[in-house]
Amino acid sequence: EMAQEGPSLEMIEEMHEIWLREAIEYREYKESVRQEKKEAREKERQKRRDRKRGLPVEESESDEDEEDLDDEMFDGPPPDGVEENIADEIGVDGRTMLERKALAKYLTKKPYHLKDKM
């Protein structure tokens, strides 16, 4: 009688596949956010340069003001207690953001038993 301890190898590999996908999606999401912010900063720099040169600068009222507001909300330290809540909030996958970040970090180093499958 072979009593099996813990999850099977298939299940572990299946979980790895899922986690790996999540880690990659998370990394791509973070990258796109970083890219958007970079482009927004560049746009602002360009506006300032144009202003200095005395060129007409089109002030857009709609989206960008809202974006600026969003950025301002997240600039600087959060009010007391806010950061913890976000980090401890449990996502749809039943993990907290901190757990997902740790997982993403771990999973981007390819698990040795999956290396040949990628």
* Tokens standing for residue 13: 């590999």
* Tokens standing for residue 59: 């002030």
> CA-CA distance, 78 to 73, in Å (whole number)?
8
Q: What is the pLDDT of residues 38-62, one digit of tens each?
A: 999 999 999 999 999 988 877 655 4
Length of the chain in terms of residues written:
118
User: Domain spans of the chain?
Assistant: 9-55+96-108
> CA-CA distance, 15 to 90, in Å (whole number)?
18
pTM: 0.38
Give the contacts of 103 (CB within 8 A, at least 6 positions apart).
19, 22, 23, 95
pLDDT values of the chain reduced to their tens digit, one per residue, 118 residues: 555 677 788 888 888 889 988 998 999 999 999 999 999 999 999 999 999 998 887 765 544 444 555 555 555 555 555 544 555 666 667 777 777 777 777 777 655 555 555 4
Q: According to the model, what pLDDT value does residue 5 have? A: 74
